[in-house]
Chain A
Amino acid sequence: MTPMVGCEVARPLLTEFVDGELAVPSQVVVEAHVRACRTCAAHLEDLQAIGSMLRTRAGLMEPRADLAAMLARASWRAQAEQAMEWPVRLRRTFDDRRVAWSLAGATCGLALCVLLTAGLVAGLEQQAADSLAAVMKVLASPGSDQNPMQLDARMLPPRLAIATMPDDAPELSSLPTDDVVYAVAGTVTRQGRLVDYAILHDDRPDLGHRRGAAAFGLTPAEVVQAVSRLRFAPAQSRGESVAVNMVWVVARTTVRGTATPAELAGPWLAGFGRRRS
């Protein structure tokens, strides 16, 4: 026996019923309800009429279209698109070997031009240090290693970093006991190195037969070289390290007393005081 359902169950299923989309058991149940319910039967008839009218009208409205022309146009466009695809065009281009050789030659020529241009640019860049642009760039950055500043009172001057003195630095105390003064001009870089140095002043006593390296233990050149190996705390200007030109005076002086030994008493009669700077 077919179970009976109410309108609240059957009505929502009418759409699927009219489309034949219900499973067989549900189809049977809805069909039984529609036979018994006039309202739902009228609803179902309306749905069927709607479908029928739409189909009829659609059939009448179908225009006579030149479908063969449409097909021809679509095929032509598809073929044209395929012909315009770049792999096809490329393959077609290389079918002609003369074009391939021409392209290869042009590619080699282009590569040669690129290499030559790169070489020229590299050469120009090497000479750029002497160029006006490079000079202007250096001048625009005072305090750089290429454009050192002059020391003035507002700057913190470079200081010899004793702790960084190399182990093989010459002992200045190995200088002879005679007075000697060296003035060394140079540039202390931002990294604290002394560069572009030169001896400005060499004040050594005329010791006659003792003159020369042996007499002093160190030659002036060795002294300057030793000095150049020292490291400085770089000069500071407005809180930044700057390169500065400076003259460094290295001097040994001996202070001798004016009293005669006889006037002096004590065990240090033969000695004399020294001061280094």
Chain B
Amino acid sequence: MGVNELETATWTEAAPAEAALIVRCTRGDEAACTELVGAHQRMVFNLAFHLLGSRDEAMDLSQEVFLRVFRTLASFRGESALRTWIYRIAVNQARNRHRGWLRRHRADQVSLDQHIKDGGDMPSDGRTPDGVLASKETAARLWQALDRLPFDQRTAVILREIDGLRYEEIAFSLGIAVGTVKSRLTRARQALRAELLEVRP
């Protein structure tokens, strides 16, 4: 039996309110710029933090992203939602920064204890302390496995699982085809599942 592909979603125009906001920003309206940043800053910062793993790096990257947004906003033609367009800029900036980061920290190792400490406490969900600890350790190992994935696979997983983007939006953000998004997600999840099976008590 054949399986129907999902119809390619199109978003030829940004929403009218969004379009008006963009026009005001390109005219130098400071309040509009503030509104634009305020609406997207948490999204950009979190994505940067999850991709780079450093608060300071994420802060710097977020600034770079919004500077880039203001510089190129006049060229935005509404071929996608503004949010997706900003994601694309953020991913590209993060990729550039990640290459430099790899060169600087290739030999660095992050200890599991430190990683668990960074992650804080997992919700107990009424489980025993041992169960909570095991779950916490599993999540930490899973996150470590995510960190070890190639940048493009990791980005696809983060955009899908954490930011909740659809395949078409991920494809636009990464500048790749939807089929490539599927294959990257499949490979990434295979690796994560292998880690999960290994850790699972």
Contacts and interface: CB of A to CB of B under 8 A. Distances in A.
Interface of A: 3, 5, 9, 12-13, 15-16, 19, 21-23, 25-26, 29, 43, 46-47, 49-51, 53-58, 60-63, 65, 67, 70-71, 73-75, 77-78, 81-82
Interface in B115-134: 118-123
18 contacts: A5-B1, A9-B3, A15-B189, A21-B166, A46-B193, A47-B189, A54-B143, A54-B146, A54-B157, A56-B139, A57-B119, A57-B143, A60-B120, A61-B49, A67-B41, A74-B37, A78-B70, A81-B67
B65 to A, nearest CB: 9
B60 to A, nearest CB: 9
Contacts, number: 125
Interface in B25-46: 28, 30, 33-34, 37-38, 41-42, 45-46
Nearest to A61: B119
B95 interface: no
B180 interface: no
A58 B123 contact: no
A29 B1 CA distance: 10
| Consensus secondary structure, chain B interface | helix
Determine the main DSSP class of A at the interface with B.
helix
Contacts of A19: 160, 167, 185
Given A19-B185, A61-B118, A61-B119, A50 B67 contact: no
B120 A22 contact: no
Contacts of A81: 67, 71
Given A70-B62, A74-B67, A53 B142 contact: yes
B113 interface: no
